[in-house]
Structure 1
Amino acid sequence: MNFLLDEVARATLRLAEAGVPSPRTDAEELAAFVHGVRRGELHNVADADFDALYWECVARRAAREPLQHITGRAYFRYLELQIGPGVFVPRPETEIMVGWAIDTLRAMDVADPLVVDLGTGSGAIAISIAQEVPRSRVHAVESDPEALIWAKRNIDASVHGDRVTARQADMRTALTELDGRVDLLITNPPYVPTADAAQIPPEVRYHDPAPALWAGRDGLNMIRELERVGRRLLRPSGAMAVEHGDGQGIDIPPLFPEEAGWRDVRNRKDLAHRDRFVVMRRADDWPSGHYERGERT
């Protein structure tokens, strides 16, 4: 075994002992970061003594600091994003929801689809849609000013960023000027139950921003609010996708009832075949927004 692989193996053991869920992958990602290459290019790196930086990075990861905070980068679909403290780290599960949104937009008979991403965080969802759906216009909303800095940084770095507009606002009240006009609304809202705090991995519990995580004892407080937001923003036949946590799939479809003008409410699964996000449409014959549940204006 060459020296590099031997050091990665030692780092893998150390991370495994610390309880890191993917020790080999993370040890390789850290090695790639130190050498300035992608993980798949490590075999091209010549044998050389790792300097102290590698083991400093391994120690930080063993202390359960997120890998993305150490390397400063996260991968999402076809994007490499800048990531650090103060912003939610995008997850692979969310890529499946974004794929559904992209397919849905491509199937729409709309020349310039209007999209809203509520709780944009790093901007991963908004930028992916702008990149993969030509002529789409995406409004990215984030309430946390620190997270918004990261979103704007990633938007500015993207060649498709000119079609993404980011603003600081409460997702429950934002974008009233778009009421009844939005083709697709997508959101990865806070959905972690405060009752589950003790079971949340330390990378999440201590490093992801609290406003992006917690949503009441059952985790559904914000999603309940978003039903009203969807009714306000979406045009008739407009589509919506809402990510949720494990075990919440059974509770969310009833929050979007037919009598409030919703149709085609379905749970969709993630990479592990678990319910991960709910999709729905506004009924064709219901006007958007300013009415109470089940009452037309």
Structure 2
Amino acid sequence: MHSPRIDAELLAAHVVGVERGRLGLVPLVDAEVIEEYRALVARRAERIPLQHITGVASMGEIDLQVGPGVFVPRPETELLLAWALAVLEGTAGERPVVLDLCTGSGALALALAHARPDAVVHAVELDPGALAWARRNADTRARDGDTPITLHQGDVTDRGLLTELEGRVDVVVSNPPYIPSGAQLDVEVAEHDPALALFGGPDGLSVITPMVANIARWLRIGGALAIEHDDTNGAQVAAMLAERRVFGDVAEHSDLAGKPRFVVARRVATETEAARAR
């Protein structure tokens, strides 16, 4: 367990219903509260994910419902979210179109829709169980006043997926399955995150490689993409994009720990597309 003290404080805050930073202001609690807290600590000691115990994970300015059957959003993805919001600041047009691939709980899609209510946000998820969590979160955010997103069940490697969005998307974001098969994982991840959301084949690229071809057809010329990846294959993802004539401005980004974590690029016109536009 990486942060037992922090987890203990977060569980205490959850039980008494305050933010972690305000725990010192909480008056004495009764025995029932203490017993509830002890029960939650015991579950965490069994390596149940903290977010499964509290039922909540955060992304950007929103909270999401999570639990068994859906990938728990990670703090590292916050940097990808910040990048996407910065790109959207510079988008021209009435309503930017955003596409979130492998949305899981809906974390990126819903955080973007919350921060940019003018955006038209689409999100794709293959796993029916995860999609149910995404729908639940989307319904909650819509009831709270956020712009509704459009959820699609589908395979992001399918060449026939979302043909209606071809050439229309301003920003694509994706946190796909990218862990190489056989990698050693923490108990919380290995036993509780869905394998379908974790593993990307022997090199971690079995989803990313065919997905890139689809991203090329969805993005408008000048549109941008960001793909999260394993810290062992970032150079391969960057090279994959750089080798394709349809992408430019390829750049690698690190996570909060300084490890390679996501690659960005822009859709550029091929010679044929440029000639057609003249």
Shared fold (TM-score, shorter chain, > 0.5): yes
- Partner residue, 2:110: 127
Query: For residues 59-98 of structure 1, what are the structure 2 equivalents within 5 Å?
Result: 59-98=42-81
AA aligned to 1:218 is: D
- Partner residue, 1:39: 20
Query: For residues 100-119 of structure 1, what are the structure 2 equivalents within 5 Å?
Result: 100-119=83-102
Q: Which ranges of structure 1 fall in alignment gaps of 5 or more residues? A: 1-19, 289-297
Q: CA deviation at 1:224?
A: 0.6
- Partner residue, 1:262: 247
Q: CA deviation at 1:273?
A: 2.0
The alignment's C-alpha RMSD in Å is 1.6
Q: CA deviation at 1:52?
A: 2.2
Q: How many residues align?
A: 267
- Is the 1:236–1:285 Cα contact (8 Å) retained in structure 2? no
- Is the 1:194–1:217 Cα contact (8 Å) retained in structure 2? yes
SS at match of 1:163: coil
- Partner residue, 1:179: 166
- Partner residue, 1:166: 151
- Is the 2:117–2:146 Cα contact (8 Å) retained in structure 1? no
Q: Is 1:213 aligned with 2:198? A: yes
Q: Is 1:195 aligned with 2:168? A: no
- Is the 1:265–1:281 Cα contact (8 Å) retained in structure 2? yes
- Partner residue, 2:226: 241
- Partner residue, 1:12: none
Q: CA deviation at 1:287?
A: 6.9
- Partner residue, 1:17: none
SS at match of 1:253: helix
Q: CA deviation at 1:57?
A: 0.9
- Is the 2:117–2:147 Cα contact (8 Å) retained in structure 1? no
TM-score by structure 1 length? 0.86
Q: Distance in 1 between matches of 2:251 and 2:104?
A: 25
CA 1:111–1:254 in structure 2 vs 1: closer, same or farther (change >3 Å)? same
CA deviation profile, 1:97-137 (whole Å, cap 9, x unmatched): 01001100111112200010011111110011111123101
Q: CA deviation at 1:41?
A: 2.2
TM-score by structure 2 length? 0.91
